[in-house]
Amino acid sequence: MKLRAKLGVAAAILTMVVAIMVPVVMYGLIAKGVARMGLHVDEVYSGGATVRTIQHEAYSINVHRIVTPHALQSEKPFVQMDWTPVSALPEHVADTVDVDGDGQPDLRVSFNAQKDANAELRVDVEPLNNRFEAMRKTGKDQYSRLIVRVDDAILVRVPLRHR
């Protein structure tokens, strides 16, 4: 009986070692397989691809393409803009932004660029046409309506109006 118990313990230990080692040994193969699957972070979370950069003297605004959530997602379509680097932003940011690249400003965005990374941010957005919704003292309300600091950028998302 003691030999069976020892064999059972040895088998359990060997199983644990194999379970731990297989992912470590096969990590490269697993990573390549996942990359080939074409998986990516949903744009509702990533903000979409950058389509243009508006350069100011010391900082830039990255304008992303409009994100349209999937049918089962409850968020509104939105556009994301990133002000970067935070260290170069003036204390109060007040910019007009041409979202669609037609040479006409679409939004007037204003916020206080807090140097403290943990400070609460609030944004005011005034639409200059009827494509976007206005935002007043908006913080982290929804994925489609927010202002947040991520690393050395301040991200603002503005929802589109329903037509």
- What string of pLDDT tens digits covers the 163 residues of the chain? 687 777 888 888 888 888 887 877 777 777 787 778 877 677 777 788 999 999 999 999 999 999 988 888 788 899 999 999 999 999 999 999 999 999 999 999 999 998 888 899 999 999 999 999 999 999 998 888 999 999 999 999 999 987 5
Q: Tell me what pLDDT residue 95 has.
A: 96
Q: Tell me what pLDDT residue 82 has.
A: 97
By three-state DSSP, how is residue 97 classified? strand
Q: Tell me what pLDDT residue 163 has.
A: 58
The CA distance from 42 to 72, in Å, is 13
User: To 5 degrees, how large is the angle CA 58–CA 60–CA 63?
Assistant: 170
Q: Tell me what pLDDT residue 1 has.
A: 61
DSSP category for residue 75: P
Closest CA to 101 of 39, 52, 148, 161: 52
The CA distance from 102 to 90, in Å, is 26
- The model carries a pTM of 0.75
Structure tokens that stand for 71 in this block: 């049918």
Handedness of CA 19, 20, 21, 25 (dihedral sign): positive
The CA distance from 116 to 112, in Å, is 11
Do 85 and 115 form a contact (C-beta atoms < 8 A)? no
Q: Tell me what pLDDT residue 61 has.
A: 97
Q: For the chain, what are the domain ranges?
A: 2-36, 43-159
